[in-house]
Amino acid sequence: MIEKPREMSTFILRSGVLILSFGIASEIVYQIYKRVNTKNKGKRRKFPKTEVLFFPDETVACKSYFTDDYGCRNSNCRFTHEENSLSKLFTYLMSARTSIDICIFVITCSDLAELLIQSHKKGVVVRVVTDNEQVDVPGSQIWKLRKAGIPVRIDNSSFFMHHKFAIIDQEHLMNGSFNWTQKAITGNQENILITNNEDIVLPFISEFQKLWLKFDPNQN
Ligand SMILES: *[C@@H]1O[C@H](CO)[C@@H](O)[C@H](O)[C@H]1NC(C)=O
Ligand SMILES: *[C@@H]1O[C@H](CO)[C@@H](O)[C@H](O)[C@H]1NC(C)=O
Ligand SMILES: *[C@@H]1O[C@H](CO)[C@@H](O)[C@H](O)[C@H]1NC(C)=O
Ligand SMILES: [Zn+2]
């Protein structure tokens, strides 16, 4: 009978320790979850109203770091994890929810092509118009895009399809001097303007639509 209170208090002590350690464990799990989650949210960048990106970047941004859910797993990564113009371009493209329409003179940058393919696989509708003179340049990513199931229409006129713009979710325009090539990223002086100003975006949407129909292979 005298033992009872002690048993009772041991019981209470044990339960207390158990509850406390459970609490600590779940707090740790929550903190880890929060860190991982905000890390990826941080990279999924919200579109600004207007922004201008300038190239060249000094170093090439690591596509995995900025676009993969788990970041870059290469401990000897030779690309940069610092934010720069290309990393912003990556994250803007990746933030597309419904559509990406692109008119581009030449695309040889495989990271950008892969981002389009990733978006396409996620269910984003990706459409590309490009120029016939550039389809077969060395490193052209056009066949890779087509193989992945992205529709690409080609300006087969003797004139250049010289536009370089992308429309994201029918809302944001990215246009500039920038060919999607390695040289434009780390060599050339280039610019990209990003805007959601309707006065600018809407004409580009109708221009894209016009070219998309014009270069429909079944129509001509
Ligand atoms: C981007 O579009 C705007 C609006 O049409 C235009 O003023 C600007 O010159 C374009 N930039 C390039 C580099 O084509
Ligand atoms: C980039 O585009 C320009 C035209 O704006 C073209 O003259 C040039 O050859 C292109 N650069 C590359 C590397 O293809
Ligand atoms: C472009 O391709 C269409 C069919 O896809 C063809 O009818 C047209 O003649 C071609 N134009 C040129 C300039 O090759
Ligand atoms: Zn990396």
pLDDT digit string, tens, across residues 46-71: 778 899 999 999 999 999 999 998 89
Q: Which residues are catalytic?
A: 162, 164, 169
Alpha-carbon span 75 to 62, nearest angstrom: 12
Residues 6+ apart with CB under 8 A from 55: 85, 86, 178, 184, 185, 186, 188, 189, 190, 191, 192
Show me where the domains of the chain are located: 1-44, 50-219
Q: Name which CATH class applies to 50-219.
A: alpha beta
Strand 172-176 to 190-195 pairing: antiparallel
Find out whether 62 and 79 touch, Cβ atoms under 8 Å: yes
pTM, rounded to two decimals: 0.78
Burial of 122 (0-12, 13-18, 19+ CB in 10 A): exposed
Ligand 4 center from residue 158 Cα (angstroms): 41
Question: Other C-beta atoms within 10 Å of 161: how many?
Answer: 23
| Residue to mutate (ligand 2; options 179, 181, 182; most atoms within 8 A of CB) | 179
Q: In this model, does residue 45 exceed pLDDT 70?
A: no
pLDDT band for 132, please (50, 70, 90 cuts). Answer: confident
C-beta of residue 67 within 8 angstroms of C-beta of residue 90: yes
Least confident of 102-111, 132-141, 149-158: 132-141
Backbone conformation region of residue 169, classed left if phi is above 0, alpha if psi is from -120 to 50, else beta: left
* 182 Cα–ligand 1 center, Å: 22
pLDDT at 7: 77
DSSP conformational letter for 80: B
| Ligand 3 site, CB within 6 A | 156-157, 217, 220
